[in-house]
Amino acid sequence: MTEIKPHAAHWGYFDAVVEDGRITGTRPFSRDPFPGTLIDGIPDIVHAPSRIDRPYVREGWLRGERRGSTRGGDRFVPVSWDKATRLVADEVRRVRTEHGDASVFGGSYGWSSAGRFHHARSQLQRFLGLGGGFTSQVTNYSYGAGMTLMPHVLGTNDVVQGPVTDWRSIIGNARLMLCFGGLPLKNGLVTAGGGGTHEYVPMMKAAAEAGLRFVNISPFRGDAADFLKAQWVPIRPGGDAAMVLAMIQAILAEGLEDRDFLARCTVGWEKLRAYVTGEADGVAKTPEWAAPLCEVPAEVIRALALEAARTPTMVTATWSIQRAEHGEQPWWALVGLASVLGGIGKPGQGIAFGYGSINGMGTSRRELPSVNMPATRNPVGISIPVARVTELLERPGEVMRYNGRDIQLPDTRMVFWSGGNPFHHHQDLNRLARALRLADTVVVSEPWWTSIARHADIVLPATTTLERNDIASSSRDRFVRAMHQAVPPQGQARNDHDAYADIADALGYRDRFTEQRDEGAWLRHMYDRFRRACAAMGEEVPDFDRFWAEGHIEFALPNEDFVQFADFARDPEAAPLNTPSGKVELYSETIAGFGDEGVPGHAVWKAPREWLGGDTSRFPLHLLSDQPPVRLHSQLDPSRGAAARKIQAREPIRMNPADAAARGLAAGDIVRVFNDRGACLGGVVLTEDMRPGVVSMSTGAWWDPQETELGPLCVHGNPNVLTQDVGTSPLGQGCAAHSCLVQVEVWKGPLPAVTVHAPPPIAGDVVP
């Protein structure tokens, strides 16, 4: 019997085709104008051999090993759910009593899956919050530096996460779009929380047809689709701030700056101007000054600057360029450039970050409520910036600077992770693995034997979304989707909510955790809250039963295009920004007052420690680790689509033919990519579209470390064994993965098998 079930993933809405209790296919959502192919991987992953079939406990942990013991190499002992529940409850109680609630780390960063009720981190944090609290994480890996900076500069994070000026407004009004980091097509496959439509490609096509001129300022030509006919400016990675400061200088030198906008709408322009002209430090930031830093010819910098000053221009940058040492600076400089151009708040002009980073940025949507889980309180008031997790483990009792504050790091004893994979997302994985040994106990809830599950002491097998009912809803999308359970839980997998309810029961707070609702009652509760919030805004939505039967809600498009900062630009006194001055802070007294090394009160050029402009004697290639075209991070790695892109089962490494020739490499070769932090294998892909000196490997191949004579080697190709684990700066403390130098050489030995898609070694009989 064939059944069709409405469902949703971060990769889009779809219908699951179910035959005899198995997912056999997916069909894209009928309203989606440009569905991606990532949904094709769903049958593969739901029924993958790497699914965790039951609860497990690491053998050494069962023997009593705690802090200091080796994680990641042991066998796993199968246990009953009862046993796993008791072990987790007893250990949380012990850690809370002996070390305090802050010793429980429950930041649990990660994308998990679409669906607002079974959202993994929300469920975990609710469970830990009601149980006494936990140490948490703030910001994200996506734009942690930028989202810390922008409230100081523009008084909001909307300029990073949306709503931003609509594509429709850009198409109708701009003539030039400067795209730092390009507008990579692959990143538009994904919407956080699931999306009904993929409008990224149709919008870009419409813009190209309307004659908008695109400039792709990126080390990779492929960051702009061919149909955009973009000018390619192959900038040196990490050089963006220098180029942008020089564009400001070039505009200033011609007297083309928008004096009216600068005077009415900004503060601190005189300080930024003095820096750019060289009045402040004796160095004029001319195109000739910037050219050797960013390796863009001075004439190109000047020509683009003057063209932008004379043409209605939208300026954008991807989130990637702030994921680097001093990543705050290019973004702050770009706000300076947009202010000098004076387009902020004008239709189709100004600045926004992320048009090229995710689907839904600039997609027209009215401001309406989304369906969500009510938040719970966390009585422990400690949060670390998300990407500083290794330091949290390494430096108990010490102080960390973040956004002008001193954070006292707690002594972490118990680590919970659900819905995220630090051995995917974090940098310098060999160092993270060492740091994780400092915890007494690691508990992980996962559907698959991912690298974080393999580094757990207690492993709770989670359902995938296809095994439960839920609702998908995203603030970047104008649809809401019913997610119908399509297949029964696989093996002994359970929903996180049910697993935590039982643990809470053992700890005496089941009813506070569940509020005496089951899945069905929660979905109705959340939906009714949403429906009431819609009604308060004059918007009728169907009742739950009709919504559930119909499968989705669609909100009408807004009548007018959204133009960010329009009210402010019209009258900054009447509609001030949420900054201390109410204006765009090109100089921030607040940030200057923090007094942090390397972060003065305005945008500056700071050379990264690791980049092609520094010491390249041992590691002469710049490694970019971008988002994967065939996966969402590490998710979908076991699918056929992801396998098809690999080379002899290794992650591709893209490089310029000149760099390959200098190393005697040919397309398809297996290489060892290495630096002092680690090494991995990759398969060579050659293209002239990659700037010489730069190589790129997408993230997301599951970490598969094996011991070799030359030290630990990820035989699969996870670039995070190579990236450096430093904060962007004491201000943002964001992920700086893109500042990374490596060397590449041919792999001469026999090719080790990739083993990480099969379950780890299992020991003995089930412990009841």
Ligand X SMILES: Nc1nc2c(c(=O)[nH]1)N[C@H]1C(S)=C(S)[C@@H](COP(=O)(O)OP(=O)(O)OC[C@H]3O[C@@H](n4cnc5c(=O)[nH]c(N)nc54)[C@H](O)[C@@H]3O)O[C@H]1N2
Positions marked catalytic: 109, 111
Task: Answer for the pair 442, 457: CB distance below 8 angstroms, yes or no.
Answer: yes
Check residue 473 for interaction with ligand X (CB under 6 A): no
Check residue 184 for interaction with ligand X (CB under 6 A): yes
Report the distance separating Cα 627 and Cα 650, nearest Å: 16
Which residues, numbered 454-483, are part of the site for Mo ion (CB under 5 A)? none
The entry of Mo ion, ligand X, none near residue 450 (CB within 5 to 8 angstroms by kind) is ligand X
Q: How many residues bind Mo ion (CB under 5 A)?
A: 1
The entry of ligand X, Mo ion, none near residue 218 (CB within 5 to 8 angstroms by kind) is ligand X
SS3 content of the chain, % helix, strand, coil (to 5): 35, 20, 45
Check residue 318 for interaction with ligand X (CB under 6 A): yes
The entry of Mo ion, ligand X, none near residue 319 (CB within 5 to 8 angstroms by kind) is ligand X
Check residue 112 for interaction with ligand X (CB under 6 A): yes
Check residue 530 for interaction with ligand X (CB under 6 A): no
Report the distance separating Cα 323 and Cα 318, nearest Å: 10
The minimum distance between CB 613 and ligand X, in angstroms, equals 12
Which residues, numbered 544-573, are part of the site for ligand X (CB under 6 A)? none
Check residue 719 for interaction with ligand X (CB under 6 A): yes
Burial (CB < 10 A; 0-12, 13-18, 19+), residue 15, is: buried
Tell which residue, 485, 470, 479, 484, has the closest CA to residue 523: 470
Which residues, numbered 56-95, are part of the site for Mo ion (CB under 5 A)? none
The minimum distance between CB 147 and Mo ion, in angstroms, equals 11
Residue with tokens 């850690």: 95
Nearer to Mo ion, 451 or 469 (CB): 451
Check residue 419 for interaction with ligand X (CB under 6 A): yes
Number of Cβ atoms within 10 Å of the Cβ of 483: 28
Report the distance separating Cα 304 and Cα 321, nearest Å: 19
Phi, psi of 407 (to 5 degrees): -105, 125
The minimum distance between CB 417 and ligand X, in angstroms, equals 8
Nearer to Mo ion, 78 or 420 (CB): 420
Nearer to ligand X, 107 or 356 (CB): 356
Check residue 720 for interaction with Mo ion (CB under 5 A): no
Nearer to ligand X, 441 or 739 (CB): 739
Token digits for 32? Answer: 């989606």
Scanning 446-515, the segments in alpha helix (DSSP H) are: 451-454, 496-506, 510-514
Q: Could you tell me how many helices (H) and strands (E) the chain has, helices first?
A: 26, 31
Single out the segment in contact with ligand X by CB under 6 A; choices: 93-101, 126-134, 527-535, 716-724.
Answer: 716-724
C-alpha 356 chain-centroid distance: 13
Among 58, 326, 425, 478, binds ligand X (CB under 6 A): 425
Nearer to Mo ion, 142 or 656 (CB): 142
Binding mask 660-699 for ligand X (x = CB under 6 A): ---------------------------------------x
Nearer to Mo ion, 58 or 738 (CB): 738
Among 142, 364, 441, 473, binds Mo ion (CB under 5 A): 142
Nearest residue to Mo ion, by Cβ distance, number only: 142
Report the distance separating Cα 390 and Cα 725, nearest Å: 8
Tell which residue, 568, 562, 605, has the closest CA to residue 266: 568
DSSP 101: G
> HSE-up of 241 (CA within 13 Å, CB side)?
21
> What residue type is 351 in one-letter code?
I
Nearer to Mo ion, 142 or 733 (CB): 142
Phi, psi of 401 (to 5 degrees): -85, 135
Burial (CB < 10 A; 0-12, 13-18, 19+), residue 730, is: middle
Task: Answer for the pair 139, 160: CB distance below 8 angstroms, yes or no.
Answer: no
Omega before 163 within 30 of 0, i.e. cis:
yes
Task: Answer for the pair 745, 454: CB distance below 8 angstroms, yes or no.
Answer: no
The entry of ligand X, Mo ion, none near residue 249 (CB within 5 to 8 angstroms by kind) is none
Among 219, 234, 336, 345, binds ligand X (CB under 6 A): 219
Side by side, the strands of the sheet bearing 350-353 are 231-233, 213-217, 176-180, 313-317, 350-353
Single out the segment in contact with ligand X by CB under 6 A; choices: 154-162, 180-188, 376-384, 508-516.
Answer: 180-188
The entry of Mo ion, ligand X, none near residue 633 (CB within 5 to 8 angstroms by kind) is ligand X
Nearer to ligand X, 142 or 579 (CB): 142
Check residue 388 for interaction with ligand X (CB under 6 A): no
Check residue 629 for interaction with ligand X (CB under 6 A): yes
Check residue 514 for interaction with ligand X (CB under 6 A): no
Which segments of 366-489 are extended strands (E)? 383-385, 399-402, 405-408, 414-418, 441-446, 458-461, 470-473, 479-483
Which residues, numbered 227-266, are part of the site for ligand X (CB under 6 A)? 235, 237-238, 240
The minimum distance between CB 429 and ligand X, in angstroms, equals 10
The entry of ligand X, Mo ion, none near residue 577 (CB within 5 to 8 angstroms by kind) is none
Report the distance separating Cα 335 and Cα 47, nearest Å: 47
Check residue 638 for interaction with ligand X (CB under 6 A): no
Check residue 479 for interaction with ligand X (CB under 6 A): no
The residues of the shown chain that bind ligand X, judged by CB under 6 A, are 110-113, 118, 120, 141-142, 180-182, 184, 186-187, 189-190, 217-220, 223, 235, 237-238, 240, 318-321, 323-324, 356-358, 418-421, 424-425, 445-448, 450, 462, 465, 496, 624-629, 631-635, 699, 719-720, 723, 737-738
The residues of the shown chain that bind Mo ion, judged by CB under 5 A, are 142
